[in-house]
Amino acid sequence: MRSRYSAYVRGDADYLLATWHASTRPATLDSSDAAATRWLGLDVRRHERHDSGHATVEFVARYRIAGAPAVRLHEVSRFVREDGRWFYVDGEFPSR
């Protein structure tokens, strides 16, 4: 999770796509706001390993685009491990 957050901070779309599971990976990522996005922090709330190949990570990431008010992204992400590597599958946004 932290490496994917760092990739968002750096605008590294290639890394994000490479760590996204093939079953849910988009063909491309829209990075039109990347230069104007200022990432403010990542708080990993919990990590749960379900078995050797499945895990969830709950996190809150904060960012601001072009001076607008900060946005709080709260997600519970699912990861799967294949050939020794973890891949992001998808995520849900918990209700407030």
**Cβ-based neighbours of 50, under 8 Å, separated by 6 or more:** 56
The domain limits of the chain are 2-92
Render pLDDT for 6-46 as a digit per residue (tens, 0 to 9): 999 999 999 999 999 999 999 999 988 888 999 999 999 99
- Hey, what CATH topology would domain 2-92 get? Nuclear Transport Factor 2; Chain: A, (3.10.450)
On whether the pTM is more than 0.85, the answer is: yes
Q: Which two tokens stand for residue 85?
A: 């590597």
Question: Which residue type sits at 83?
Answer: D
Euclidean distance between CA atoms 58 and 77, whole angstroms: 6
- pLDDT of residue 96 exceeding 70: no
Check residue 21 and give its pLDDT. Answer: 98
Check residue 26 and give its pLDDT. Answer: 97
